[in-house]
Structure 1
């Protein structure tokens, strides 16, 4: 954690639904692109920012409703994976309908959904039922909606399991739900937040002789 200066500020922004300057469309697109497991900083973020330039700043996708009404043909020049777009359009559609039914804006809709979306029954949740949304994507959206939790991503798993092994900690990590609860227990024991522990596992990885926190510091300020 000492190697991740600025992590708390980034996690505060995530929990306040203020990533990408509070643009929920970009948060949903980020989560959808990330759902297929490519390198986050080298593959996902540049494409999200390219989408922003073409469709948000210069185009006509200003809210979740407009995102949900796109077709893959209109956006595949940015990102070819149809599974990702199905996730993006479907999540946007559900959150827009939720917001419209309750008189909420996009940010309020995401936060309302996240606060009421539980871990145990995630597969029964409307977003959990979307084809292409696994528990990692589901948890990622909850985090950006204000829930202090973690994702059972492969890197998060590897780092946490190494820590537990070194500390001879007897905490279950066999399935994804058990793993998320174990991160919660580690957070409680250490005084850190689960979201901080989760992001720490990615940001302490080395790339090009630097930890990612240092290498991508400027990008983290942007996203």
Structure 2
């Protein structure tokens, strides 16, 4: 496994500050610990637009209008918003269905157990299952695919990965360079393979996942160089 470690280390060396960000994610402290913004982030990200250019600015716009200047201070208040109230920020109705439905479920889970929003997300994530994700209450929400499901689990404290197309491409490239034959045929197998790479190389699975996005070329450099400061905010 020496070659695998060398290849992974080469990729990871380009991602200064990644561990700190991933630890914050696993501690449910993104967006200063605001679970409303984490859910909105995941909901916007569910339609596959550029994360740093499209998703983050709109999440911060939502924060400004509805969290700082408005009345959305918890998941219950998020779930009670209407499309009409928020469509000027984000027009995609499926995204809002994800945001409102996930917020509603987590609020009910927390209310039933005497948990705050962060505790509710972490309780759900801890008990949510990868292989049976389609049977999960959040997995059943229209617009929630495995990638969004995994993203929410990560922000709820689970050290796992999202099996999106960029993650797949970089992981398969990494395995080819290392001369390793590990299965990545379907999304669940891909997640398990990333977990295995993490175990063998002593990195966290979430670190490998975020690395794949941050080493992508954009303009004259890579995203880590262009958006490194944004990680401190989100």
TM score, norm. by length of structure 2: 0.94
The 10-residue stretch of structure 1 (93-102 or 203-212) with the greater mean CA deviation from structure 2: 203-212
Cα deviation 1:76-117 (Å, max 9, x = unaligned)? 000000000000000000000000000000000000000000
Which of 121, 124, 133 is residue 132 of structure 2 equivalent to? Answer: 121
Q: Is 1:76 matched up with 2:105?
A: no
Q: Is 1:23 matched up with 2:34?
A: yes
- In structure 1, C-alpha distance between the alignment counterparts of 2:227 and 2:199, rounded to whole Å: 28
Deviation of the 1:126 alpha carbon: 0.2
Q: Is 1:88 matched up with 2:99?
A: yes
Q: Is 1:198 matched up with 2:209?
A: yes
SS for the counterpart of 1:216 is helix
Deviation of the 1:206 alpha carbon: 1.7
- In structure 2, C-alpha distance between the alignment counterparts of 1:178 and 1:206, rounded to whole Å: 26
Partner of 1:44: 55
TM score, norm. by length of structure 1: 0.99
Which of 220, 227, 233 is residue 222 of structure 1 equivalent to? Answer: 233
TM alignment of 1:133-148, pairs within 5 A: 133-148=144-159
Deviation of the 1:210 alpha carbon: 2.0
Unaligned stretches of 5+ in structure 1?
Answer: none
- In structure 2, C-alpha distance between the alignment counterparts of 1:109 and 1:160, rounded to whole Å: 32
- In structure 1, C-alpha distance between the alignment counterparts of 2:227 and 2:190, rounded to whole Å: 27
Deviation of the 1:195 alpha carbon: 0.1
SS for the counterpart of 1:94 is helix
Which of 43, 61, 64 is residue 75 of structure 2 equivalent to? Answer: 64
Unaligned stretches of 5+ in structure 2?
Answer: 1-11
Partner of 2:220: 209
- In structure 1, C-alpha distance between the alignment counterparts of 2:69 and 2:62, rounded to whole Å: 10
Deviation of the 1:208 alpha carbon: 2.0
Which of 46, 52, 55 is residue 66 of structure 2 equivalent to? Answer: 55
Count of aligned residue pairs for this structure pair: 223
- In structure 2, C-alpha distance between the alignment counterparts of 1:219 and 1:183, rounded to whole Å: 25
Deviation of the 1:205 alpha carbon: 1.0
Deviation of the 1:118 alpha carbon: 1.0
- In structure 2, C-alpha distance between the alignment counterparts of 1:186 and 1:40, rounded to whole Å: 25
- In structure 1, C-alpha distance between the alignment counterparts of 2:113 and 2:169, rounded to whole Å: 41
Deviation of the 1:166 alpha carbon: 1.8
Partner of 1:155: 166
